[in-house]
């Protein structure tokens, strides 16, 4: 009898430990997800363009295929790599984050340049592409989306890993897996709603009810603007997140002046404002990080262009 009671006591202790681990993992996952929000926004902004030009009945299956590929990227490749790095080579996390931050800054800067120069610039550099049938075009679009997602997912997982402040490997793994699932579901659930919103609007408009008609026509007309706004927000998010990563990385390497200066200025402006001080402080911090990101992106573009030119000469 005493042996049975001891066994039950051990089981209860293990259950408490498991519950505490799950609770800790959930808490860490929530914190990590919030810090990766900028990249998540960009991920949601980028993906809808991969279903543009495809048959309406294939949009949701394609989004589903991309979502499955994204989850595989995160759980089967990036999660083991992130855990291995955190266990054997944690010193590499900050440099890798900064490389990812530079990539985000470069992407954001190029998107801004494209917005400013307009479609004419893109048309001048257009390259003739082979004509593909529907099935081949779908495969190309899905493969391209999953490749793009891999880079963004790597940045999300790296930010999440850097945000998890527990030494236990199991809790870290659970937290990262939770982030992977929640982010993928959130991003591609949002993308599915976005790409089908115009179809839903058409159905409402065709009913032409007193309420459904105006709502449907409004949805159809607002979707192009919404996609443009989402793309713009994604571009801003890339610059602000990338710049923030670089500032924090410099602070980790002992160059904390720029980050402290921005934080002090943001705090002073927030304290001075009669209302909405916290929001204003965050806006100042994000704007400053965005300016840093834009400058870093422009500098990275110059280095990449110069290196490419030298390589071609050789």
Structural domain includes residue 253: no
Structural domain includes residue 303: no
Of the two residues 188 and 55, the one the predictor is more confident about is: 188
Return mean pLDDT, the chain. Answer: 75
Looking at the predicted structure, is the pLDDT value of residue 292 above 90?
yes
Alpha helices in the chain (DSSP H): 2-35, 37-46, 59-72, 79-88, 93-117, 119-124, 134-163, 169-207, 212-252, 257-272, 277-313
Structural domain includes residue 156: yes
Structural domain includes residue 31: yes
Phi, psi dihedral angles at 302 (to 5 degrees): -65, -45
Both tokens of 271, joined, read 């304290």
Domain around 31: 2-224
Number of domains observed in the structure of the chain: 1
* Cα–Cα distance measured from residue 193 to residue 44, given in angstroms and rounded to the nearest whole number: 11
Contacts of 243 (CB under 8 A, 6+ apart): 101, 105, 288, 289, 290, 291, 292, 293, 294, 296
pLDDT digits (tens, 9 = 90+) for 63-120: 888 889 989 988 899 889 888 888 888 888 788 888 888 888 888 888 888 888 864 4
* Cα–Cα distance measured from residue 15 to residue 216, given in angstroms and rounded to the nearest whole number: 52
Looking at the predicted structure, is the pLDDT value of residue 132 above 80?
no
Structural domain includes residue 313: no
Full-model pTM: 0.69
Looking at the predicted structure, is the pLDDT value of residue 123 above 60?
no
Structural domain includes residue 265: no
Structural domain includes residue 241: no
Q: Is the distance from CB of 109 to CB of 239 less than 8 angstroms?
A: yes
Looking at the predicted structure, is the pLDDT value of residue 36 above 80?
no
Structural domain includes residue 115: yes
Residue 108 confidence (pLDDT): 85
Length in residues, the chain: 314
């Amino acid at each position: 009898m005493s042996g049975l009671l001891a066994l039950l006591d051990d089981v209860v202790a293990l259950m408490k430990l498991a519950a505490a681990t799950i609770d800790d993992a959930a808490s860490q996952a929530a914190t990590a997800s919030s810090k990766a929000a900028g990249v998540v926004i960009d991920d949601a902004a980028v993906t809808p363009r991969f279903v543009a030009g495809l048959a309406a009945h294939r949009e949701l299956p394609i989004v589903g295929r991309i979502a499955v590929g994204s989850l595989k990227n995160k759980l089967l490749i990036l999660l083991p790599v992130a855990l291995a790095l955190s266990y054997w080579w944690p010193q590499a996390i900050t440099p890798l984050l900064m490389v990812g931050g530079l990539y985000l800054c470069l992407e954001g800067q190029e998107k801004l340049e494209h917005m400013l120069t307009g479609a004419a610039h893109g048309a001048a550099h257009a390259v003739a592409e082979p004509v593909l049938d529907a099935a081949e075009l779908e495969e190309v679009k899905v493969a391209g989306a999953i490749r793009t997602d891999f880079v963004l997912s790597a940045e999300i997982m790296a930010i999440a890993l850097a945000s998890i402040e527990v030494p236990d490997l199991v809790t870290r793994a659970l937290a990262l897996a939770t982030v992977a699932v929640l982010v993928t579901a959130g991003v591609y659930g949002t993308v599915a709603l976005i790409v089908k919103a115009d179809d839903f609007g058409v159905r409402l408009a065709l009913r032409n009810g007193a309420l459904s008609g105006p709502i449907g026509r409004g949805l159809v007309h607002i979707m192009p603007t919404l996609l443009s706004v989402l793309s713009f927000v994604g571009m801003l998010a890339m610059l602000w997140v990338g710049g923030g990563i670089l500032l924090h990385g410099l602070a980790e390497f002992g160059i904390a002046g720029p980050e402290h200066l921005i934080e002090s200025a943001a705090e002073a402006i927030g304290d001075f404002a009669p209302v909405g001080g916290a929001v204003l402080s965050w806006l100042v911090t994000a704007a400053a990080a965005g300016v840093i990101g834009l400058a870093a992106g422009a500098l990275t573009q110059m280095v990449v262009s110069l290196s490419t030119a030298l390589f071609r000469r050789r």
